[in-house]
Amino acid sequence: MTMGIYYLTRLLVTLVAIPCHEAGHALASYLLGDPTARQQGRLSLNPLRHFDLVGTICMVVAGVGWAKPVPTDARRFKNPKVGMALTALAGPAANLILAYLSMAVWKLVYYWGPDNGFTWYATYFLQYMVLMNVGLAVFNLIPVPPLDGSRVLLVFLPRNLYFGVMRYEKVILVILLAVVWYGALNGPIAWMSNLVWGLLYEGTGWVDQLVYTTYFISIGTRV
């Protein structure tokens, strides 16, 4: 595999994973009573509505990046704290759903696809789709501002303390990116990602069963 194919794959996966993540936020916000994101065109899978140029380049080149924040108005939620938490969790949830579907299709293509270059690239693309989406979900669930996991803290922390911390959101982001860049979180993130990967693999066991059943039925028919 050439470096060109590697970075092309990262770009293509990013064009799918990031819009799904951001559209997940927008959909949850809308369903919970806040139409702000929808009115601003963020309830969409169009990458151009979500991407920040610098953040996208960092995502493709370094594996860590960001998109335009999805606007929310907590005052429109019946329960602002719970609404913000659920809206935040919807992004990682969308990535996990996409990872699950990608793994299922990956197995089907691996077992049933013809032995050619297209099948090889399709399995590689789908495998990387699982990898990036799991990574995005795990990383964004870290309870540190401005990641999605920090929004869940609003449910448990006193309001004044939470917003006191959020005042330094941009500074914390720079520190977080530096920590990630130097690999300080590689161990915990890899452990959690492997755990989620294993759960997804077991959860798509029905694909393996389908393939095995079909194979034995075809043998019986031929006999």
Q: Specify the pLDDT at position 221.
A: 64
Which tokens in the block code for residue 90? 């919807």
Q: Specify the pLDDT at position 146.
A: 81
Per-residue tens of pLDDT for the chain, all 223 residues: 688 898 899 999 999 999 999 999 999 999 999 999 999 999 999 999 998 888 888 888 877 778 898 999 989 999 988 999 999 999 999 999 999 999 999 999 999 988 898 999 999 999 999 999 999 999 999 988 888 998 888 778 777 777 777 777 778 878 887 887 788 888 989 999 999 999 999 999 999 999 889 878 877 666 5
Decide: 186 and 178 in contact? Cβ < 8 Å.
Answer: no
Q: Specify the pLDDT at position 168.
A: 75
Q: Specify the pLDDT at position 73.
A: 92
How far apart, in whole angstroms, are the C-alpha atoms of residue 157 and residue 131?
32
Residue 61 CA: distances (Å) to CA of 6, 7, 32, 113: 10, 7, 35, 30
Domain that holds residue 79: 3-222
Annotation says 22 is catalytic: yes
Q: Which residue of the set 17, 22, 89, 151 is catalytic?
A: 22
Decide: 185 and 175 in contact? Cβ < 8 Å.
Answer: no
Specify the 3-state DSSP secondary structure of 51: strand
137-140 — which CB contacts under 8 Å span 24+ positions?
A: 137/92, 137/93, 137/95, 137/96, 137/99, 137/196, 138/92, 138/189, 138/192, 138/193, 138/196, 139/64, 139/189, 140/21, 140/91, 140/92, 140/95
Q: Total domain count for the chain?
A: 1
Q: What is the pTM of this model?
A: 0.90
- Which residues, 6+ apart, have CB-to-CB distance to 81 below 8 Å? 154, 155
Give residue 152's identity as a one-letter amino acid code: V
